[in-house]
Structure 1
Amino acid sequence: MKSYLAVIGSPGAWRFLVPAFVARLPYAMLQLGILLLVQWSTGSYGEAGLAAAAAAVAQALAGPQTGRLADRYGQSKVLVPQVVAHAAALGALLALALSHAPIATLSALAALAGATVPQVGSMVRARWAHLLGGSGRLDTAFAVESITDELTFTLAPVLLVTVSTRFSPAWALLVALIMVVTGTLVFAGVRGGAPEPVPVRARSRRGVLRLRGVAVLAVAFASLGTVFGSLQIGITSYTAAHGQAASAGPIYAAFSGASLVGGVVYGVVRWRVTAPARLLGAVGLLCAATATLTFAGSIPLLYGGAALAGLAIAPALITGYTLVEALVPAKVRTETFTWLSGSIGLGIAGGASAAGQLVDRFGAPTAFLVPPVTTGLAALLVLVLLRRLHPGAGQPSPRQSAATP
């Protein structure tokens, strides 16, 4: 644990970590919250999956632009107007869902809410890379971030489902709205550890994706997103079909809790295997673990399958984020982190949409067919393009590139 204490004890770290946690907890509630809200409003899991997918796609497309602006102008100048817009969009979604508005309207507002989500997680990772890059402690710092993510994904479903079942999904999203506004504004006011803005020439939207290895990472992260999206649909519909809707939160928390454990263990191991090879192994293990969910014929077995999948997903996330520091110049690092987070969002969208359609047409268990297929294809892609995840011979290091005007 000394390695963890050394990282979180970095000067000024606690000042931005605490408000960032408050702001990130609603991030873990948004997709599932929109899913529950729209399903409650329309009565259809398929329509709910489309609305959640609209939010995730919009977030995936808008997030990298937010990261680019943060790299150029600074984090606080981007976060404040963004959280104001997010509050307005989510508030409108809540009001219209209560009035049972058409699915097209709800999906449009869900997309707007997703597009304006404050990218606090990516900005925290950019702060860690700025503070610890090249020190040998970045793996541990990103393990801290993975643990934080999984802690939020452990607590958020329990909080969300508890408030939703006792009151309504609208109340649950209102709680999320208050938290994201408060946490983001405080985080934006903490300048310690934030990288200095680096104005750069305008690029095409795919400029960062053309950097070595970034596209491979983006595809891998999209496959990880399908696990989150399909499990949200699968667990929610499966427990509802068995008359145990309140079990959805704890089961999803078991998945996230196991991922937290996997992240803790990963962060303290001194790996002798290269990061690209670790990514390949983690995605392959995730494929095998999610395949067990297709055999879960009861609620207790669903707990076990979700936990197995959770153990494998954190190492893949940590390794992917760590590879960014080796492959990408500092001046576009926040943008790259948001591309990866956005890819997870696209995966959530695709996974939720596909799983929702399968549930409506063939029943709840078919939602669990999605993650082993997508992660298996991603593992094959990483294997074929493994060399792309190593810095190329003669390629300048990210730190050398960062010094280039």
Structure 2
Amino acid sequence: MTARRTVDNPADSATPRDTADTTATDAGATTDSTATAPARVGYGTLLRTPGVWTFLAPAFLARLPYAMLSTGILLLVKETHGSYGTASTVAAVAAVAQALIGPQTGRLADRYGQAAVLVPAVIVHALSVGALIALALGHAPAWSLFLAAVPAGASVPQIGAMVRARWIAKFTADGASGSSTAKVSTAFAFESVTDEFTFVIGPILTAAIATTVSPSTGLIVEAALTVVGGLAFAAQRNTAPARQAHRPGAKRASALASPGVRLLAGTFLGVGAVFGGLQVSVYAFADSVGQHGAGGTVYGIFAGGSMVAGVLYGVIAWRRAVQQRMIMSYTLLVLGCSTLWAMPNLIALTVAGLVCGLAIAPTLISGYTLVETLVADGAKTEAFTWLTGAIGLGLAVGSMAAGRLIDGHGPSVGFLVPLAGAGLGLAALVSLRHLLTAPGQANAAVTASPERAAAPQLVGAAKG
């Protein structure tokens, strides 16, 4: 499709005025129709939207613990049980529980409302983390730690998915339009930047607390932030999306019924393996060179690179279809991961991690944008939680595999896990990329950032 796009230069956006002829194709299909893409919406315009800070501020507090939980578990169990293998497995169990249960809580939130799910979840989370801390400090057997990690991970509130659902509800209340889809796209870029910022602050904060106070205190802070932020977020009911009541006799299909959602979940699994394998390997590498406290900083710089890339992604007027952008960024991720295992010292590893991180946010933003076009309104929170859960599951597998390799062969070998996970994800993405276009959009490429001009339907699933 050939489209003429004029991108305005708002005072609060770094996007230059750019009028360009763009040619976008999807799965080899083209069309002669001409359309005008909406002007780019700047971050300043987005954040000045009335009412958004009422849910953004508590959401930040509530989602920060997401990046603290696995690091806190890893540092605490390593301290009490003396094994990266055991520590990474406990963290992995929590991540698996989150990956499997998170989408179900997202589905419940779509049906019964976000507050109805959040309030009991944060209470269960605080109690479960408390039990895990007590067992670890009491040097309880590993199997008991695994049992405690299940509810701790399963009860992690899916704040990121809920915030994205609120952005959609905010901007599409009067129906989909060029303006609303531009705003949604910028909101998704902002959310990715926020996610990455939490991954910058979370590990550093947890490592700092663990080394200066105690590893258990890091998890106590994580649980406290979850409760305070989660309850404050749940209290903001005016900005929550409307509940999707179930009609008697109607079949409610999962968002996972969409082949495109399944493909994106698989590729996000690879991204999660990068997070998990890199996290464990970085801490082990820092330990091996006698700089234990530096692990959180190195991992934070990796996430910082992703955050910078996410900011830039949101202000660039893209000429390529979003499917193509995702393939390009995922390819760069694989290339970045391919250098990690060969780094000789922490400085070199930090630089390599920064370069690797630059590909993360563009990949995630593209994936979240695509999945929003593949599902109906009543399944969006669930769809987002499947992607978030896939990251968590990949993190679990990646951290566990890296931990075992590190115990047996040293920290450098652990860096092969991110490469393997990203490589498999890229292979799936390239070979099955045709699944990322919803029926009815085959002749209209997904372009610029909002990636659509009409409300999509849930692919392969009945509405209900």
**Shorter-chain TM-score: what band?**
over 0.9
| CA shift digits 1:76-121 (9 cap, x unpaired) | 1110011111111011111111111111001111121000111111
Secondary structure at the aligned position of 2:339 is classed as helix
Q: What code does the residue aligned with 1:228 have?
A: F
Q: 2:217 & 2:424 partners in 1: Cα distance? A: 39
1:29 has 2:68 as partner: yes
Secondary structure of 2:207 counterpart: helix
Instruction: Map Cα deviations across residues 110-168 of structure 1 (whole Å, 9 max, x no partner).
Output: 12100011111110011112223541122211111111111111111111111101121
> Corresponding residue for 2:225?
179
Distance 1:316 1:101 in 2: 40
* Aligned position for 1:223: 270
Q: Within 2, Cα distance between the matches of 1:181 and 1:279?
A: 35
Q: 1:114: which partner in 2?
A: 153
Map of 1:254-333 to 2, 5 A cutoff?
Answer: 254-333=301-380
Contact 1:330 1:398 in 2 (8 A): no
What's the TM-score, normalizing by structure 2? 0.84
Counterpart mapping for 1:52-63 below 5 A: 52-63=91-102
> Is contact 1:327–1:398 with CA below 8 Å preserved after alignment?
no
Cα deviation digits, residues 183-222 of structure 1 (max 9, x gap) = 0000000023211000235657xx3222140011000100
- Is the aligned partner of 1:149 residue 2:195? yes
Q: CA deviation at 1:38?
A: 1.1
User: 3-state DSSP class of the match of 1:356?
Assistant: helix
CA contact (8 A) 1:80 1:184 kept: yes
| Counterparts of 2:456 and 2:400, CA distance in 1 | 42
1:399 corresponding residue in structure 2: 455
Contact 2:86 2:142 in 1 (8 A): yes
Aligned to 2:413: 366
Question: Hey, what's the Cα distance between the residues in 1 that align with 2:441 and 2:298?
Answer: 48
| Deviation per residue, 1:304-354 (Å, 9 max, x gap) | 011011111000001100112211101000000000000001100110011
SS at match of 2:317: coil
Aligned partner (choices 94, 97, 114) of residue 133 of structure 2: 94
Distance in 2, Cα, partners of 1:130 & 1:190: 14
Once residues 327 and 240 of structure 2 are traced to their aligned partners in structure 1, the CA distance between those partners, rounded to angstroms, is 31
Letter in 1 for 2:310: G
In the alignment, the residues of structure 2 paired with residue 202 and residue 349 of structure 1 have an alpha-carbon distance, to the nearest angstrom, of 33
Between structure 1 and structure 2, the one with the greater Rg is 2
Say whether the 8 Å CA contact 2:376–2:463 is kept in structure 1.
no
- Measure, in 2, the Cα distance between the counterparts of 1:281 and 1:114: 32
Unaligned runs of 5+ in 1: none
- Decide whether the 8 Å contact of 2:286 with 2:295 is kept in 1: yes
Report what 1:4 is aligned to. Answer: 43
Using the aligned pairs only, state the percent identity: 46
Give the equivalent residue in structure 2 for 1:44.
83
Residues 1:245 and 2:315 aligned together: no
Matched-pair contact (CA < 8 Å) for 1:328–1:398:
no
Is 1:356 the counterpart of 2:412? The answer is no
Distance 1:357 1:203, change over 3 A: farther
User: Are the aligned partners of 2:252 and 2:463 in contact in 1 as well (CA < 8 Å)?
Assistant: no
Higher alpha-carbon deviation: 391-400 or 128-137:
391-400
3-state DSSP class of the match of 1:245?
coil
Q: 1:16–1:190: 8 Å Cα contact kept in structure 2?
A: yes
SS in 2 for 1:393: coil
Q: Tell me the TM-score normalized by structure 1.
A: 0.96
Greater share of helix residues, 1 or 2?
1
Over 3 Å counting, the alpha-carbon distance change for 1:209 and 1:89 in structure 2 is same
Using the TM superposition, give the Cα deviation of residue 404 of structure 1 relative to its aligned residue in structure 2, in angstroms: 6.0
Cα displacement string for residues 225-248 of structure 1 (whole angstroms, at most 9, x for unaligned residues): 001101111001000011000110
| Count of aligned pairs | 403
SS state at 1:327 partner = coil
For residue 10 of structure 1, what is the amino acid of its counterpart? T
Q: Which residue of 2 aligns with 1:190?
A: 236
Letter in 1 for 2:211: T
Shift of 1:377: 1.6
Matches within 5 A, 1:103-142: 103-133=142-172, 134=176, 135=180, 136-142=182-188
Q: 1:84 to 1:7 in 2, by over 3 A?
A: same
What root-mean-square deviation, in Å, do the aligned CA atoms of Structure 1 and Structure 2 show?
Answer: 1.8
Q: Distance in 1 between matches of 2:80 and 2:93?
A: 16
**AA of the residue aligned to 1:89:** S
